[in-house]
Structures are given as structure tokens and as C-alpha cells.
Amino acid sequence: MMKLLFLGDIMGSAAREAVARQVPIWRQQWALDAVIVNAENAVNGKGVNRETVQLLLDAGVDCVTTGNHAFAVKGEIGCFEEFPTLLRPLNFLPKTPGKGSCVITTAKGQKILVINPIAQLFMTQQVNNPFFAVDNLLREYTLGGNVDAIFVDFHSEATSEVMAMAWHLDGRATAVIGTHTHMPTADTFILPDGCAYQSDAGMCGDYHSILGVRREQAMQRFLNSYIADKKMEPAKGPVTLCGVYLEIDDKSGKTTRAVPVRYGPHLIESLP
């Protein structure tokens, strides 16, 4: 049995430090074979840089996914070429730097294909159809064949689009987990043909905030017609880590157990 942990959007410096502290502990306690983390909000709430990627890799993270803010940090676009396990959305247009999938190998020699598509509904980027992009990629890979697991981080605003992707890939993917909305959903389950699902993994950040942003800043968007300072700063209070823990059949690559992960001061705790 393979054990995999996925953590949702890291929001700011306090969150990335909390993730770096906790991942080595959980790797040992839960005998994890792989850890995947979404870090698209890790630097001041938008983007990722070399220092952050290295911090996470040193802590025991195997793959770093992102989303619509992947390239938000100026001067750091090159890190998507430098780190082979740092992903940007799969279905960004063809000339975009970096790649949207990779294969990681566990200490036991198991191969995990990680795919990082971005949704179309309510998103601002020009992207190709994520369903077709994933289908094209899966022409090269077979679950339980040349890869032992296929994990999909689907960065999406609409839960309906994430759920559609999960049903589209049931039997062909180990898990489809949503990111982007920063709120963990209460719908963790396993589809009939072994694909684990959760609409959103939730963020790693301070939940005494508004989606990880300082409350007093974020509320101005709802209380005023004109906002002089549109910069959103991450809240820096105590961090809650959110994600999903999976147990995966060694032969089929299908999920046999899926548990939401919530660890910290502000949400009702859920651990494997």
C-alpha cells in the first residue's frame, strides 16, 4: 500500500514555514511514500520563488504544484525550468515556461504521475481545455501500468468543474483534488472505480482571515466602491494545515482510503 499526502495552497511566509516544520514529522509518523504541496500563494500571497521551492524540497516535499499565480513573483520564472518537480498549470498555452506534469519516484521505486491542470470557469488566464489536455497526456501513461499512481491537482474556482474532471478520470486516475478556493470542502469520497475526490483541499494558512488575507484589507472590497490600495497581505496568525491523505493499492493504483487533513487551531481537526 502506498501512502500519499497532499497539502493545499500555502498562503504566505508563516504557512510555508509551518509546512516545512510539519512535513518531516508526518513523513515519519504516517510512513508517507510521497508528499505533494500546492505553493502558488507561498510568497506574499501570490507566486513562488526558488527559496520557497528549495525549503519545501528540503523538508521532504516531492512535488510542488501551483495555479493562476504561478508566475506572480518577478524574476522567478526561471525556477520553473530549474526544478523538475515544480509544476505550472498543464494547459497554459504551449510557449509558457515550465511544465504541467512530472513523474516522481518513491523510495520504494513506485512511480507517481502528478498532473496540474487549471480550470476554465471563472479564471482569467487564456488556457487550453483542461479535459483535453489531461486526456492527451494520459495517452502516454496507464494507471497500474507504467505508473503506479496518478495524482491530479485541479486548480479551479468552480466545484462543478473539479467534480466533472473526477468523473471524467475515474478509473484512469488515483485522485482528483481541487485547489484555489482556500476553503476545505466536506465532500471527500472515492468514486466507484477508485478515484479519490475532494472539491478543494483547503489552504495552509491563518483561518482567522478572509481566504488567508488580512481581514481588514479584504473587507474593503465589500464595503467600498473605491479601493486605493488593492494589495492583499497574507494574515500571519497561527496556521492551520489542510489537505488530503490517501492510501493507494499497489497493483491497481486506485485509492482504497481517503481522509481530509485539518491540523491547527482554527478548524475541527481531522487526521488519518
Residues classed as catalytic: 69
**How would you class 226 by CB atoms within 10 Å of its CB: exposed for 0-12, middle for 13-18, buried for 19 or more?**
exposed
Which grid coordinates are listed for 37?
Answer: 504541496
- Please, how many CA atoms are within 13 Å of residue 210, restricted to the half-sphere of its CB? 11
Q: Which residue reads 474532471 in cell numbers?
A: 165
Cell reading at 105: 519516484
Q: State which amino acid sits at residue 262.
A: R
- Cell numbers placing 50: 526558488
Within 8 A by CB and 6+ apart from 27, the residues are: 35, 60
Interatomic CA distance for residues 100 and 155, integer angstroms: 12
Strand order in the sheet with 175-179: 101-105, 111-115, 149-155, 175-179, 196-198, 189-190
Q: Which residues pair with 107 in a beta bridge?
A: none
Cell of 38: 500546492
> 87 pairs with which residues across the strands?
none
Tell me the C-alpha distance between 184 and 178, whole Å. 9
| Rounded Cα distance, 129 and 132, in Å | 6
